[in-house]
A and B are shown apart, each in its own frame.
Chain A
Amino acid sequence: MIKSEWFYWLIGAIFLVMAVQMLLDRTNPKRYGTAAFWGLLGLGFIYGTWVVQDKAPPEPLGVAVLVMAVLGGFKLTGKGERNTTTPAERDASARRLGSRLFIPALTIPVVAVLCATLLKGQSLGGELILEKGSETILGLGFGAIVALVIGMFILRERRIATPINEGRSLLEAMGWAMLLPQMLATLGSLFATAGVGEQVGRITENVLPSGQTYVAVAVYCIGMAVFTFVMGNAFAAFPVMTAAIGWPVLIQGAGGDPHVVLAVGMLAGFCGTLTTPMAANFNIVPATLLELKDQYGPIKAQIPTAIPLLACNIVIMAIFAF
């Protein structure tokens, strides 16, 4: 069976190779800090396999994460000179290769789709080919590898160092933002253990006037959005808000259809996700990947959609649940 952990090892190995390249890159004024950051990241990806299986203590990884946070947070990482083609060379190459350039790029989604549909649940010799529940992640990984092979063939690029170097430049440009989504996931679990959710739920209950169903609908939806804004994740907000208002007030008290209340409640939370830097993988990572000057560019593009959409969710719940 092909396991998702194998891909984490592959990614870890890529980070480690890049860390060595970074260490040797004399054009990078902060090459030691940069190499340490990406080296720890690579080791963490591999070591993490045993942490999720409870076969290794999480503390060494925790220390490594905090060291990475210090390296990234105090600007001890940097980037080297980018060794790539000029815009003019790219124009010429685009004219020469034409639409053949799209073939590898489109291979990634095609292979991902094939894995998620055709290969899913298929067995070979009594064993599942792809690990259950990881089909789309594995599909993305396979897609990227197949696309790389096809790409190197079409472009007649013989040196594997070329794509690794180009990938490294993209990663160096993103810098510490790479680590932020995983840090936020940790913060979410610490919030949960410390009981932040229960506190917010208690506060929301206190502001809720009794007996007014439609007000309660609005409080539930807005509460989901606000809580998600703070936590960066609707999944963290859902159990808390549902235990505080959704279930006792809207479903049990006012007799609302649980399907509508819960499905729309979650989507109200997603409106919060659109607006928060805490959801770094959706909002900050795109900004760094697109090399935007304004880190909050995507969020600013999304806020004017999130607010009316939240209002829509309140109306949808009010109409269809009661």
Chain B
Amino acid sequence: MIVLLGVAVVILGFALKQNPLLVVAVAGIVTGLLGGLSPQAVIAAFGDGFASSRSVTIFVITLPVIGLLERYGLQQQARNLIGKLTGLTTGRFLTLYLFIRQVTAALGLTNIGGPAQSIRPLVAPMAEGAAERRYGPLPERVREKVKSYSASADTVGVFFGEDIFIAIGSILLITGFVNTTYGTQLEPLSLAIWAIPTAICAFIIHGYRMIALDRWLARELDAAIAKRETVK
């Protein structure tokens, strides 16, 4: 039971808004020591964990080119482009992106999108641009919400698309674990097809919420515009 104290440290730390880096370091040390590891083994675990998880930081390699393009106005151009497509509202655009992300992830192409590669330079500016075309400059709060929804379209899309692809980590983890532990012969493909119903539900639910974002924008910003008019 006592090893669960590490989990409590994490929850308490996040709840008290302590710096997550410190929270995680302390929780790791506490859990390791309570679980019977020597201090040296705990330190080794931090080294091993860092070395074997370097792939999550690989997106850094795209930042120089993304930064260079932004210097020359990539985000502005993304906005200009969306400004010409008058039928595309913020919600419809993000629903389209969600769909593309799910389908490409289902084909195993999980790395073609992501917060660094697509959301910051292209998708978020386009989602903002679509709203600006309609309502003019966006208040800070609205801008934050549009950016957050852009990030969510990417994450939901990749999560509930990738499992349809058979060679993805999570499907191979399932077959690897079950086949070695219980001596079964499960095929990745017959598992992957059962990711399809959830993928469809994810598209319907998150897509609906993107469209609902359009209605929220209309309510928020029409009111703001009306207020501006009366003040004049």
Q: Report A's interface with B, CB cutoff 8 A.
A: 4, 7-8, 10-11, 14-15, 44-45, 47-49, 51-52, 57-66, 68-70, 72-75, 84-85, 87, 89-95, 97-99, 101-102, 104-105, 108-109, 112-113, 116, 136-137, 139-141, 143-145, 147-148, 151-152, 155, 157, 162-167, 169-171, 176-191, 193-196, 199-200, 230, 234-235, 238-239, 242-243, 247, 258-260, 262-264, 266-267, 270, 273-274, 277-278, 280-287, 289-290, 292-294, 297-298, 300-302, 304-305, 308-309, 312-313, 316, 320
* Given A14-B64, A165-B67: 15 more A-B contacts, CB < 8 Å: A61-B46, A84-B71, A93-B72, A94-B76, A170-B63, A182-B49, A182-B54, A186-B24, A190-B35, A263-B191, A286-B119, A290-B124, A302-B152, A309-B160, A309-B201
B224 on interface, CB distance cutoff 8 Å? no
Report the minimal beta-carbon distance from B199 to chain A, rounded to whole angstroms.
8
A94 is contacted by which of B6, B66, B73 (Cβ under 8 Å)? B73
Query: A301 touching B152 by the CB < 8 A rule?
Result: yes
Q: Report B's interface with A, CB cutoff 8 A.
A: 1, 3-4, 6-7, 10-11, 14, 19-22, 24-25, 27-28, 31-32, 34-37, 40, 42-78, 80-81, 108-113, 115-122, 124, 140, 144-145, 147-152, 154-156, 159-160, 163, 169-171, 173-174, 177-178, 181-182, 184, 186, 190-195, 197-198, 201-202, 205-206, 209
Tell which of B25, B73, B182, B193 has the most Cβ of chain A within 10 Å: B73
With both beta carbons as reference points, the residue of chain B lying nearest to A149 in the complex is identified as B65
Query: B110 touching A136 by the CB < 8 A rule?
Result: yes
Specify which chain A residues have a CB less than 8 angstroms from the CB of B31 in the assembled complex: 187, 190-191, 194, 196
Query: A238 touching B50 by the CB < 8 A rule?
Result: no
Chain B interface, >50% SS class: helix
Q: List 17 A-B contacts (CB under 8 A).
A: A48-B52, A69-B24, A93-B72, A99-B77, A101-B74, A112-B109, A140-B61, A166-B66, A182-B54, A194-B6, A196-B4, A196-B7, A263-B194, A277-B20, A286-B154, A301-B148, A312-B205
Specify which chain B residues have a CB less than 8 angstroms from the CB of A190 in the assembled complex: 6, 28, 31-32, 35, 37, 42, 45, 49
Query: B61 touching A141 by the CB < 8 A rule?
Result: yes
B48 is contacted by which of A7, A51, A137, A309 (Cβ under 8 Å)? A51
With both beta carbons as reference points, the residue of chain B lying nearest to A179 in the complex is identified as B21
Chain A interface, >50% SS class: helix
A72 is contacted by which of B10, B19, B58, B81 (Cβ under 8 Å)? B19
Query: A262 touching B50 by the CB < 8 A rule?
Result: no
Query: B50 touching A44 by the CB < 8 A rule?
Result: yes
Query: A176 touching B174 by the CB < 8 A rule?
Result: no
Specify which chain B residues have a CB less than 8 angstroms from the CB of A87 in the assembled complex: 76
Specify which chain A residues have a CB less than 8 angstroms from the CB of B159 in the assembled complex: 270, 273-274, 282
Report the minimal beta-carbon distance from B11 to chain A, rounded to whole angstroms.
7
Query: B194 touching A259 by the CB < 8 A rule?
Result: yes
B160 is contacted by which of A242, A258, A270 (Cβ under 8 Å)? A270
Contacts A97-B73, A99-B77, A102-B77 given; does A11 touch B58 at CB 8 Å? yes
Specify which chain B residues have a CB less than 8 angstroms from the CB of A264 in the assembled complex: 194-195, 197-198
Specify which chain B residues have a CB less than 8 angstroms from the CB of A178 in the assembled complex: 57, 60
Query: A152 touching B68 by the CB < 8 A rule?
Result: yes
Report the minimal beta-carbon distance from A140 to chain B, rounded to whole angstroms.
5
Report the minimal beta-carbon distance from A280 to chain B, rounded to whole angstroms.
7
